[in-house]
Structures are given as C-alpha cells and as structure tokens.
C-alpha cells in the first residue's frame, strides 16, 4: 500500500476528507505530505503545515475529529517509540535541562505575549463560569485560586513557577499576602518584578528545587507540565517541606487521561521542550504518604475557550510582530493554539486544580 492510500485508510472513521469542502477538511498542496506523515507521524504532519504543504480552515475542528477517532494510536512509529525509551532512561527535567523551555518559549518576548494574553498575563486556563471575556475569565481564575487557598491578610505564600507575576500581584494586592514567587525565565522575572513593584512580593530567579523556608500557603499554577514524571515526587516533597502544618497547597496543571513519560514530538520540538502531562496515577503516587487530597476540580473544557481567545488575540495583533517572527512562526503558532483547543474539546487532555493539605482539623470546604 502506498503512502497516500495508507493515510486515506487512517482517516477512515474520522469524518475528515482530503480536499473536501468542509472547514475541517485538509487541503493538500504537496503530494509528498503522505510519505512525510507515514515517516514522521505527528512531527511530520505539523512541520508540513508550517512548510505550507497543507491547509485547513478550522484546525481546531480537524484536531477534535482526529483525536476523537483515536488517530494517534494508529500513527505510532519507531521514532515515537524511541522518544519513549529516551524518556525512560534520561531525566529530561534536570536543573540544567529545565532552562530550555524558558529560553526557547517563555523568553520569546513580553510584548508578543502581552498582545495574546489578558491584563494579568495569565498563560494558563481561565475560569469561564460567569465570564464572557478573557480578562474576566482570568481574573475569576486568580480569585478562585485565592479562595481555594483560603488566603488571609498577612499570610506568607510561596508560588512555584510564577509566569509574569499575575498571581503574586493579585494575591498581594487584593488579599494582602506576602508572596515569594519563583521562576527560571529571565524575561518573565524582569516583567514580574516590575509589575509587583511596591507590593509585598519577592520574585526569585531560581529553580523550584532550590527554595527553602516555611509558608502558610503554596501554589503551583501551570508549572507541573514542565516538571517531568521523574520529578513529580520532588515537587510534592518540596511543597510539603515548605508548607506549615495547617497550610494548603494548590496544584493547577494540564493533565492527561493516561500515564506517559514523554510528550508529542512536534510539541516537544517546537513549543514545550522536555514537557509532559501528568496523570491521576502519577500525581497520586507522587503525593501518597505526604498529603491529604482535599479537592480535585476539573475544568478542562474551559481551556478550549481560553485557547480560542488567545488565538483571536494572536491573529488580530500579528501584523505588529510579523517582521520579527516571520510567516513560518505564524503557521507554527496557529497550529499549536488550534490543535490544543481541539484536544481539550475532544476531552483528550484536562485541566485540574488539586487542593492538598497535611490534614486540616474539621475538613476542607471545596470552592467552585
């Protein structure tokens, strides 16, 4: 069977047609696409889009349909298997290797991200319950985290992985907390320090594993995806060691429905090097014997809305950044945002907020 026939066979049952007239159909511009997909799987598919070999009006709908049909199970090849073996042998999230994602992704440029994100520069899922705009959804997410942590004025809060300082700013300004926030991204640290100037916030450029001290509350919002399965217990132990006996730890993370040891090859190469999504089993084993699980909240469907809002902002503001980043970057970023939206919509991946304690007398009341 030649490459084209093989790809057409793979597409059976997906409701996706080659050169069809529906928004989720694939328009092929280069017949070499089929061999590239067979040879390189999802990496070849994504790179071919970046190279202009194919187009699709609604990549989010295309990805939703492909994921729902289980296409990734059919396209497994030896290179994917090799990546799995590599992840088993090597800890790709050591203190040295963990800097790669900061340098290649988060340090792209604060102006670029400011034009895509909300006023708090939140690069994590918004909470769209009773929210109609991205700004409102992200503010509700920040307030939800503060309420779940039961923040009180004067409390000492540790944030492991702080992005551009949005949570540190919000917790200090609106809840009167003293926040110590940790990050390894040069660009993000500089931005966060400027944003939080005048507030009781300390932004520390450091790996989370280096932090010492005791805090009333600990939060990790969108960092666990970069920790790696070999370090999930390390993260939990660090939060446990830094948390006061009657404190709370909130973990906000994208997550998968099954346990893995690596990530998609295209995402690994172009978006989030050395990343992977934790599973219930992996996080459960990591927290076992340390924490009491007080609350586990999934609002992954809200990430679809968040990503589509980011894409709308990215597309609207692209003319300001086109000269700096170029057309291939535009196609790469489009593919990234819309594929992720489709995967959340198909419920392939989730967004969890988990509240943990060392055992609160009288129990914990969950907040929604």
**249, 208, 204: which is closest to 228 by C-alpha?**
208
Residue 165, judged by CB atoms within 10 A of its CB (0-12, 13-18, 19+), counts as: buried
Phi, psi of 244 (to 5 degrees): -65, 160
pLDDT for 106:
67
Which band of pLDDT confidence, cut at 50, 70 and 90, is reported for residue 86? very low
**Annotated catalytic residue, options 146, 196, 242, 340:** 340
pLDDT for 91:
56
pTM: 0.91
What domains can you pick out in the chain, each with its CATH number? 3-76 (no CATH), 99-357 (3.40.50.150)
Question: What is the rounded distance in angstroms from the CA atom of residue 356 to the CA atom of residue 253?
Answer: 14
pLDDT for 84:
42
- Is the confidence at residue 82, as pLDDT, over 50? no
**Active-site residue flag, 340:** yes
Average pLDDT over residues 262-286: 95
């Amino acid at each position: 069977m030649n490459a084209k026939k093989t790809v057409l066979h793979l597409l059976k049952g997906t409701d996706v047609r080659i050169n069809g007239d529906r928004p989720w159909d694939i328009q092929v511009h280069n017949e070499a696409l089929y061999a590239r997909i067979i040879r390189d799987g999802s990496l070849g598919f994504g790179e071919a889009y970046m190279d202009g070999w194919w187009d699709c009006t609604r990549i989010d709908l295309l990805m939703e349909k492909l994921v729902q049909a289980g296409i990734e199970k059919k396209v497994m090849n030896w290179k994917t298997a090799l990546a799995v073996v590599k992840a088993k042998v090597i800890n790709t999230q050591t203190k040295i290797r963990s800097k790669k994602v900061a340098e290649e992704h988060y340090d792209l440029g604060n102006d670029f991200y400011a034009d895509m994100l909300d006023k708090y520069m939140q690069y994590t899922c918004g909470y769209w319950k009773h929210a109609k705009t991205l700004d409102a959804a992200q503010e509700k997410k920040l307030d939800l985290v503060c309420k779940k942590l039961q923040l009180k004025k004067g409390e000492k809060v540790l944030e492991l992985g702080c992005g551009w300082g949005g949570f540190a700013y919000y917790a200090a300004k609106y809840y009167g907390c003293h926040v110590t926030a940790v990050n390894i991204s040069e660009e993000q640290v500089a931005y966060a320090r400027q944003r939080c100037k005048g507030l009781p916030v300390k932004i520390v450029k450091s790996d989370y594993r280096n932090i010492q001290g005791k805090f009333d509350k600990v939060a990790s919002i969108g960092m666990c995806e970069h920790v790696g399965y070999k370090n999930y217990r390390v993260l939990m132990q660090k939060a446990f060691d830094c948390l006061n006996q009657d404190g709370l730890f909130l973990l906000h993370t994208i997550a998968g429905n099954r346990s893995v040891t690596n990530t998609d090859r295209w995402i690994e190469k172009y978006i989030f090097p050395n990343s992977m999504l934790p599973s219930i089993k992996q996080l459960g084993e990591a927290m076992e014997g340390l924490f009491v699980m007080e609350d586990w909240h999934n609002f992954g469907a809200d990430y679809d809305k968040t990503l589509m809002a980011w894409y709308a902002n990215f597309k609207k503001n692209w003319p300001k950044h086109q000269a700096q980043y170029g057309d291939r970057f535009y196609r790469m970023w489009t593919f990234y945002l819309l594929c992720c939206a489709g995967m959340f919509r198909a419920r392939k991946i989730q967004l969890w907020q988990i509240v943990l304690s060392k055992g609160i007398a009288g129990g914990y009341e969950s907040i929604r």
